[in-house]
Structures are given as C-alpha cells and as structure tokens.
Structure 1
Amino acid sequence: MENKDLPQELDQALGAFSGYLAGERAVSAHTLRAYLGDLRSFLAHAASEGAARLEDLELGTLRRWLGTQSQAGVARSTLARRAATVRAFTAWALREERTTSDPALRLKAPKRERHLPGVLQAQQLTRLLAGLEEAAAGGEPLPVRNRAVVELLYATGIRVGELAGLDIDDLDPDRRTLRVIGKGNKERTVPYGVPAAVALDDWLRRGRPLLARDNSGPALFLGSRGGRVDQRQVREMVNGLLEALGDTSASGPHALRHSAATHLLDGGADLRAVQEILGHSSLATTQIYTHVSVDRLRKSYQQAHPRA
C-alpha cells in the first residue's frame, strides 16, 4: 500500500521489504505489522529531515530517531526492537543493492530490560492440575478439554499459538511426542509425559467426539461450537484458572511455558535440550530461565544456610 507521506523510493523500499518479510522470512501477521510500523516511523522521520532516497539515510538519522522515541517515553525493550528492525531493513537494502552502504552497522541500541518471567511452584501446579482432573471426571467436554490443554502446555512448554494449530495427526501417542510448527514455519518434535498422555487420551475418547462438527476438520482442540479452538479462548481459560489459585502473580499460557522451562532446568536438563524443546532460535533467549533458577536457588540458600 502506498504511503503518501513518504518519498517514492523510500515507499517502494518499504513495500519490497514487506514482501521479503512475508515471503522469504515467513513472519507472522503480528510481527509483520510491528516491523512495518517501526519502519514507517523511521522513514517518516528521515523524510522530515530531507531524506528522499535510501542513500540519504545516515547513522545520525537513526540516532536522532531513536532519541525522539526515548524522549517520548518509549520503553527500552521497544527501542531495542525498533533499532533491530531498522538494522534488518538497511542490511536487506544493501544485500539487494538498493544502496551502497549500511548506515546501521555502527548503531548501538539500548539493551533490553530483563524481566524474570512468572513461574508457578510445583505445589501450585499440583493443585491446579488436581482441580482440572476433578472437573474433568464429570465427563463434560470442555472440562475434559481444559485439563488436556493445561497438561500439554505444561508438559511441553509450547506456545499457545502452536497449541491452537495442532492437528490430531501431530500426536504420536506411542512415542509420546508432538510435532509442532513454530515461528518461521520451523518444525520440531517435543516429548510429553504420562499425565499429559492420559489427559489427551481422555479428551480424544470422551471429550472431542461430543464437540466435533462438520467444521472441525483435523483440529486437535475444539471450541464449544466445534471449530478449532482459538488462542483467545485458551488465554481466557488459563488466566481464569491461575487467578483462582489466589497465590500467584503468574498469568496466561506463557506462565506454563516459563514454568516448564524453569522446572526442566531445576531438574538438571541440558540448556540446549531446553532450547530445542521450546523452539528458541537463540540460546541467549533460553538462558533467561537459568536466571530464574539461580534466583530461586539463592533464595533457598539465604533461607537455609546459617551464614548466608
């Protein structure tokens, strides 16, 4: 779509980069919107300074743009993402020979703030899952589904979008593994344990047949009307369950992902194995969970050691 506020060359480059992200990079619709929003902001700033061509973009332009964002109160994590977006754009423009230099090569972005994710304790998860098992015993399809969903999210650490996209054929019950399509359409295989296997078998035998309709297709998890369950429904369900616990600040399906990763590392799992299970492209992303584990270890030490 043409942007009337941008000079023609900058607008055309933005459109071509959008095609590259959607095609070759296969980013999600949400990520695409975020990237393009960042780039429109940057290119509009550059145009306001007189830039009309990609060759007009300079390191100073980038720094001044980030400076105005910072002064407007934009969080450091957002500034870091926006800087990374512009770096990806200028590197792409150089590869495509749309420009002869990359002005962002020497751009230093603010470091992201590290927020430790909310993690459920083992006894909290025991209470949560016991309550779901009790609710499922009545045989109503939605409680049976909810138990299987939560067991699987915690057993595998998969993202809620990955869970919603699962088909029945993605399960291998004999090996207790799951085929998951993650970010960038990358496929990985994730193991799950006996409790999740029991909950899934119960859902497939007793729950899913009661909800299945002509529009259900191969979807593993269904909504109340028989269509594929959507991410919002799962988030609302998990949020409600965690709020009902009453003694945790953790919220949403991502808390189950964080908990799975942390408990794996607490139990001695290899960091690279956890990276593969979670589908992280970078080991650095997985390493945040080592900080969670070390933080818990430190608290235990301070509580227990007489000379802590």
Structure 2
Amino acid sequence: ERGLSSTTIQRWSGYLKQFLCWYGAKKLPFSAVGITDLDAFLTSCGAKGCSRVSINNKATGLRAFFRYAGTKGWCGPLIAEAIKGPRIFTQENLPSGPSWHEVRRLLASMETNRPEDLRDRPIIMLFAIYGLRATEVAKMRLEDIDWEHDLILVSRPKSRGRQIYPLLPTAGNAILRYLQEVRPGCSWREVFLTFSAPLRPISRTGLYSLTQRRMLEPGISTPHRGPHALRHACAVHLVEEGLSLKEIGDHLGHRSSSATRIYAKVDLSGLREVAAFDLGGLK
C-alpha cells in the first residue's frame, strides 16, 4: 500500500525475522511485547557490531511493522511511535566508493578470456557506468537489450517504472561477448546466470558477493565494497564531469532530488567549486 520496492520489503522482513528470533527466546506471547523489548533488541544489534546507520534502518523497518500490528490489535497501539533508532550525524551516511581510476583498474583486471571474467566484467560495467542497483541487474532479461537500436531497458523497482539507456559500445561489446561465448543456452530469460549447478539467475545477494570479491582482487582501497559502492562511484564521476544533481538523479533512477543531495557532500578537491555546479535548487 505504501508503494515500497520488493527489495525494501525483503530487507524489512529480514529485520522483523531477526527480532522475532531474538524475542522468541524469551518464550513470551507476541501480545506481551513492549518497547523495552525493542530497545533491548536494537541495543543487542549494536553490541554485535552493527553501525548506527544499520540499527536506524532496523528501527525504521520495525516501526512500519508495529504500526500495522497495532492496527490489527496484535500489540499495543503506541509501540510503533516509541521505537527510536540511534542519532545519525550529518556526515555519518556519507557515501563512499572507489575512485574512477580504481574503477578503470577494476575493469582492466577482468580483460581476459576466462569465463568468469567474461561474465563479471559487463556486470561491473552496469554498476559503475550506468549506476544500476543490484536488483535491477539481477532482473535484467534478454529482451531488455535492444541490439537493433543500441538501447537498454531497465526496470526500476523503487519507482516501479522503466527507464531507457543508450547501450554504450564498451558495455554492449562486453555483454555480447558474454552471451556468445559463455552464457549457456537455456530457458532462463535473465541475462546473468550462475556457473554452479543448478543453473539459475544470479540473485541480488549473489551479485553483492561477486562484486565484493572482484573489488578485493585488485586491492581497491575503499571501506565499502559492493554494487552500491560502484553506484556511488558512478554518481561522483558524473558530478566531476559537471552534470547537475538533477541529471545525476535521473541517471540513477532516484524518485526525488533529496535522494541525490548526499552527493553534494562529496569532496571534489582539485575540481571546480561546488558552487559552480548547477545544484538544481539546493541550498
């Protein structure tokens, strides 16, 4: 009803499962749950090494569930609004990722004839050049690539719409070589498949593991490794090229300009002053 993406629903469901497993050890009925239990659970997450940002995300997901549970009479009606995550400082969720030089080095490290490289290189390109999300790459289908007109059609889970990109020669050639030389003929319509049996599309989590492993191999020095780190690198590169945050937001498939504002925090040392960019109404 809230228009949440399938990824968000899956992630919030995971948070709820974690809480229920933790609460289940107390051998108490769900109707007895109280805010002290939720506070204790979030505190335990911190004790296990979760960051404040991660704990705050868990609190958001749990708040959504308990708001619904309250309307159903499964628990007290005021619990949801009492769930508070930790304070998040202004710069704490500053995105971080590899430099564009490191992205180029990463892609160069996969310029081989090995089957794994022929599959993984176009995946990394879709993250770094197009700034796609893991879910968007996982769900990309063969019919989403228009070879005749050199276009890629991307299904956006957050906006529940579709977006068309030009198929750049480098990305197109990498995808084509994977399809012709590596990808087995099968009934699956998803573009990227696993190598291990049983043959199946690579999942969102599988893409995270693949990207993290790939970024470790050339020794890329960034605190975050994964598809979102490459998405960040794409955004920063576009800022460095002088695109406005509105244009970057359109490229990344953001539903609102607020989602792109975080890139105004990025250190653009050695480049034009931030004030020289068209920030699309940002203050």
Question: TM over 0.5: same fold?
Answer: yes
Shift of the alpha carbon at 1:101?
4.5
Query: Does structure 2 conserve the Cα–Cα contact (< 8 Å) formed by 1:265 and 1:271?
Result: yes
Partner of 1:203: 175
**Mind listing any 5+ residue stretches in structure 2 that lack a counterpart?**
274-283
Shift of the alpha carbon at 1:283?
4.7
Query: Does structure 2 conserve the Cα–Cα contact (< 8 Å) formed by 1:142 and 1:207?
Result: no
Which of 1 and 2 has higher RCO (CA within 8 Å, sep 6+)? 2
Query: Does structure 2 conserve the Cα–Cα contact (< 8 Å) formed by 1:94 and 1:100?
Result: yes
Provide the C-alpha distance between the structure 1 equivalents of 2:144 and 2:98, rounded to a whole number of angstroms: 28
CA shift in 2, pair 1:39/1:296, >3 Å: farther
1:116 to 94, 98, 123: 94
Shift of the alpha carbon at 1:209?
3.1
CA shift in 2, pair 1:188/1:35, >3 Å: farther
The aligned length equals: 263
CA shift in 2, pair 1:244/1:202, >3 Å: closer
Shift of the alpha carbon at 1:210?
3.4
Identity of aligned residues (%): 22
CA shift in 2, pair 1:258/1:166, >3 Å: same
Shift of the alpha carbon at 1:166?
0.8
1:238 aligns with 2:216: no
Query: Does structure 1 conserve the Cα–Cα contact (< 8 Å) formed by 2:133 and 2:231?
Result: yes
Query: Does structure 2 conserve the Cα–Cα contact (< 8 Å) formed by 1:119 and 1:259?
Result: yes
Shift of the alpha carbon at 1:260?
0.8
Shift of the alpha carbon at 1:268?
3.2
CA shift in 2, pair 1:95/1:280, >3 Å: farther
Q: Please, what TM-score do these two structures have when normalized by structure 2?
A: 0.70
1:130 aligns with 2:108: yes
Give 3-state SS (helix, strand or coil) of 1:156's partner.
Answer: coil
The structure that has the greater radius of gyration is 1
Partner of 1:66: 39
Partner of 1:168: 142
Provide the C-alpha distance between the structure 1 equivalents of 2:23 and 2:185, rounded to a whole number of angstroms: 48
Partner of 1:80: 56
Query: Does structure 2 conserve the Cα–Cα contact (< 8 Å) formed by 1:178 and 1:191?
Result: yes
1:215 aligns with 2:186: yes
Shift of the alpha carbon at 1:121?
1.8
List per-residue Cα deviations over 1:149-170 (Å, max 9, x = no partner): 2222111111223212210112
